[in-house]
Every structure is written in C-alpha cells, then in structure tokens.
Amino acid sequence: METPAIPMPKDAREREILDTLTGIRDHLLLLKRDRTKYIRSQDVLLVYEQVIEQVKQLNEIRKGAAERGENRLDKVLESCFQLLSLFFMTIGRTNEAPAAYALTSTIKRLLDHLTESGLFSAKDLESMSTTLATLEGVLKNTNAQHSPYLVELLAKREELCKTSLENLRKQLEKLAEPLREIHEKLISILRSMSLANTKAKFSATEVQKLQAQLKEIEGKLVDGKFVDAEGSVLEGSDKVSDLLTRVLHWSDIVLERKGAIPDNFRAVYDRLVSIRNDLEKLSITQAWSLRETDLYDYQRELDKIDESRVDGNFFDEEGKPADLYIQRTLLYLIRRSYGYIYYLMISSEPVSEALLPCYNQLQTLKRCLLEVKNNGGVSTARDLYPYSMKLNSIDNLRVDGKFMVGNDLPEGQGAVNELLAECFDLAYELRVAAEDQTPAESD
C-alpha cells in the first residue's frame, strides 16, 4: 500500500508511533470490509481518539525540529485520517470536521487536474465553491472534541483549494459574456466525445454528430475570431478559438483510433474503465448500496495511477511514454472517476448506515406521496391504505420516539424523524382532501 521509495522515520519514537498507526490503519481496513454488521459510532470515535493521541505525541517529538520531508509515518497517518473521514460519513456525522478530510483530498485532486488541463467550465467550479463554503462553516463552528491539529490541517487544505479555485475562476472571467456559453458547450462536447471514446463499443456515428456541432460553432468565426454584432473581436476570442481547435483535433484523433488501446497500456486502461464503471453504478444506486468507506480503495488506486505519471505523462513497463491519444484517454478516466467520488461524498446523507434502510424507504414514500398530490390526489381515503400501513410499520420501529438498533442509538435520529413526520403530514393532507371530495361526488 505504501511505496517503498518513502523512507522509514529515523527517530525511534516516530517508528514506535508508525507501528501503532499501522495497526490502527489495518484495524480500520478490516472494519470497513466487515459487512456482517453496521459500523457503530462508538467504535469509530474510539479509534479516532487513538489516532489523535498519536498525533499529540508526534507533535511533541517534532516540536522545534527542522523542516523535513515526508516519511512512512506521514503516509500512514494520512491513510488513517482518510479512512476515519469516510467512517464519519458512514456513521452519519457528515457535518463534523473529520468528515471533511477525504472531501478536501478529492477537491484538491480535481482542482489540480482542472489547472493542469485548462479544460473546465463555470459549472465545474460552482459546486466545489459551494462545498468549500460549507466546509469553512463546519471548521469555524467545530467543537472542542476535535483535535486542533486536525482542524488547522483542514483549514490549510481548504484555503489551498479556495486559492486554486479563485485562480481558475479568474481565467473564465476574462471571457466576454457571449463566449462563456460557447466555452461551456465546447467543454461539454469534449467530455461527451471522451465518454464515447471509452465505451465498450465505439460508435463513430456518435462522435461524428458531436463533430458536426463543433463545425457549427466553427462557422461562427469571422477571420478566425469570435466577434460581436458590430464586428468587434470579443474578449477571450483567442482562448475559445484555441479550445475549438483543440477539440476539433481531438475529434479527428478519436475517429481515427476508434477506441483502440495498445497492449502496453491495456492493463491500466481496463482497470480505469472498471473503476469508472463501478463508481458510475454507485452514483445511480448510492442510496441503497454505498458504504462511504468503500470509496477508500477506489481513491487509493486512482491516486497510485495518477501519481505514477512523470511530467504529466504515463509510461509503460519499458519506459516508453504514452502518445497524446493514450494520455488524454487515461486522464479522462481518472478525472471522471474522481468526479464520481466527489459526487458520492457530497451526496452522503447525515444518517448512520444503520438507519439508512428506514431513511431510504421514507424518501421513496415521500416522493410517491408528492407524486400522488401533484397529480390530483386520491379518490378515496382507502387508496392511501398502502402508504399508511408502511408509515405505521416504520413508526412502530421507534422506542420512546427513537430508532434503536439493539441497545445502540445510531446517528441521524433527527433527519429520520423529520422525514417520517413529513410523510405523515402529506398522507393526512391527501386523506382530508379525499374525504372533502366524497360528499360532493355523492350529491
């Protein structure tokens, strides 16, 4: 898991902490793989306290010491925080500082890739900007139970992300308003083309249709420039026309290569496609099938492949660099996968996995009741019987108003109770409306 190139700590006290943290990390890895029982808050908080205790000892050892490079201890500590962060999401404590660790790691990766490629749109930045603002609020309001070391570390990571985000936003601000829509469209076409290029069965027709849209945009150029109604060159014209040229060139390459990947890069390509496909399925079924800790293995594998690049490019086992087609194809898959991981993290509900079955059933019930309401309601109160029966069966699971699992009180009680109350209110409204209609129909 850890690269041998990273040195062991020289200090005997650090090596002792490394051994302890390695044991904690291995325990967390076993805990996340155990599907026979749900993850309990008290188990996660106990391990969290153990890690924080090791951090305190490490800070004492390194206090006043000269700046040094990373060693194996730093990497294992990072793994512990990454895992704990995902565990906090899994137990429903998504609005606490530890849960922000994995999210800031993913945002940093995405922003680094956007900066490297220069291929991004305003939509890419909007979501991350909102998420970072939320994280900033979490860190400012964090309570004393969380380590000042962790809070300070997260604040620095959040600030780095905000700076990177602002630099990217400034690039888009240099585009004249009429060009922003075209720029957005070009990024969308580029990604659609890269998606078509990585499908199991390559469709030349699909790429040709996208290429036709590019030709249509190209037709708007006047002497190679984008101009306004008066014929004046729009600010950012060169940047957008350069992007158009790049995407047109990419479309030609894609049509020429037809999704064919040479053997020397086939293994890494197949693995990235598999990761992308797995994460895509999770993004569709996440409410029912995702345990946030599952994301750890995907993230680590992506990190390993991403960090294997030299000067931005991939090399095969014989040390030969990937050509432009292979490089862009592999990078697209990596970035798409990180994008899915980000989406899955921000979609994590503030509910323990122990309560998720109830929570998800109530979400479905609420959607059904709203659908019934928006389509004219029900004819008679009897039509609501299936919904009422299900609501009552969930309500009966409560003990003194709480959803217990054995002797445990899982996180997310407020969210589940609130959703249950909303469903009861909707069912009541529909019943009253149906009863009001009945006399009128019998007259």
Element (H, E) at 403: strand 402-403
442 pLDDT more than 50: no
Pair 33, 86: CB distance under 8 Å: no
* Closest CA relative to residue 359, chosen from 296, 311, 403, 424: 403
End-to-end CA distance of the chain: 76
Per-residue pLDDT of 182-215, as tens digits, reads 999 999 999 999 999 999 999 999 999 999 999 9
Distance of alpha carbon 255 from alpha carbon 325, whole angstroms: 11
Q: Which two tokens stand for residue 188?
A: 């969308």
- DSSP 8-class letter at 351: S
- pLDDT tier at 5 (50, 70, 90 boundaries)? low
Whole-structure pTM value: 0.91
Name the CA radius of gyration of the chain, rounded.
26
pLDDT tens, position by position, 338-391: 999 999 999 999 999 999 999 999 999 999 999 999 999 998 989 999 999 999
pLDDT by residue (tens digit) across 30-55?
A: 999 998 889 999 999 999 999 999 99
Tell me the residue length of the chain. Answer: 443
